[in-house]
Amino acid sequence: MYTVTLLAAPAARNLEPALVEALRNAWGGGDALWLSPDEAAAFSMDHVPDNRWDVWTDVQKQGVDLVVQPTAGRRKKMLLADMDSTMIQQECIDELADAAGIGDRVKDITARAMNGELDFEEALRARVGLLKGLPVSTIAQVLAERIDCMPGGRVLLATMKAHGAYAALVSGGFTDFTSAVAATLGFDENRANTLLSEGGVLTGDVGVPILGKQAKIDALVDITARLGISEQDVLAVGDGANDLGMLGRAGTGVALHAKPAVAAECDVRINHGDLTALLYLQGYAASEFVTP
Report the catalytic residues: 82, 84
d(CA 55, CA 58): 5
Element (H, E) at 214: helix 213-227
- What is the 8-class DSSP label of residue 100? T
Helix axes 103-114, 92-99, angle to 10 degrees: 170
- Rg for the chain, CA atoms, rounded: 20
Amino acid at site 36: S
In the chain, count of helices (H) and strands (E)?
12, 12
DSSP-derived 3-state class of residue 204: strand
Name the percent of the chain in helix, strand, coil, to the closest 5: 40, 25, 35
Cα 39 → chain centroid: 20
Q: Which residues contact 145 (CB under 8 A, 6 or more apart)?
A: none
Residue 67 host element (H or E): strand 64-70
